[in-house]
Amino acid sequence: MTAETDESFGDVTPDAARRLLLGAVEAFAERGFHATTTRDIAGRAGMSPAALYIHYKTKEELLFQISRVGHERSVHLMEEATAGDGSAAERLAHAVRSFARWHAEHHTTGRVVQYELAALSEQHYAQIVRLRRRTEDILRGVLQDGVASGEFAVGDIRGTALAVLSLCVDVARWFRPDSRRTPDEIGVLYADLALRMAGHRAG
């Protein structure tokens, strides 16, 4: 799935601002933040370089908005997947399946969101870190629930949560549309891996 079809940016208005974000996603994913020019971004959006500054003060602000939307989407996915009365194993599997699948389906956006953070300003980086911690906290909570219920055998809950999230995030780095596994198949595989990492035994 390309940035143009990523529904994560559907709420960005006006249309010109959204087009610039999508152009920036494609450019940053292809060339990296530092090698991308504002002219390149504007050209991909079908606009003049001067038009970019009407909506975004700097190239870094574009990156921040992309990162914010992507990380808020991650939090939403985790909250939605872990809500309800299912067992800890069911909630962990659902969360990981959704998170890994998103990074495959939206690998272009995911690469920018997850691997260009160092280019953010100190203030913007701190805001993104808070969102990343929220995602981690949700997953840690599910692992803690599983340990408390006897479903999981986890010695290091924080370390396990970070390892699981890292596996999912890395999908955006290597996934390609012609990959051997589909996004759904990757989600199923990673959910099974996460349960194994948590020490869950079926039955």
Q: What is the DSSP letter of 151?
A: S
Supply the pLDDT for residue 2. Answer: 45
Enclosing domain of residue 65: 59-197
Determine the Cα–Cα distance for residues 33 and 63; give it in Å rounded to an integer: 8
Residue 44, in any domain of the structure = no
> How many Å apart are CA 7 and CA 68, to the nearest integer?
14
| Cα–Cα distance measured from residue 18 to residue 38, given in angstroms and rounded to the nearest whole number | 15
Specify the DSSP class assigned to residue 106: T
Q: Indicate the DSSP class of residue 71.
A: H
Mean per-residue pLDDT pooled into runs of 10, the chain (203 residues): 58 86 93 93 90 91 94 93 91 96 94 93 96 96 95 95 96 92 96 95 64
Which stretches within 9-58 are classed as H helix?
Answer: 15-31, 38-44, 49-55
CATH of residue 97's domain is 1.10.357.10
Tally of structural domains, the chain: 1
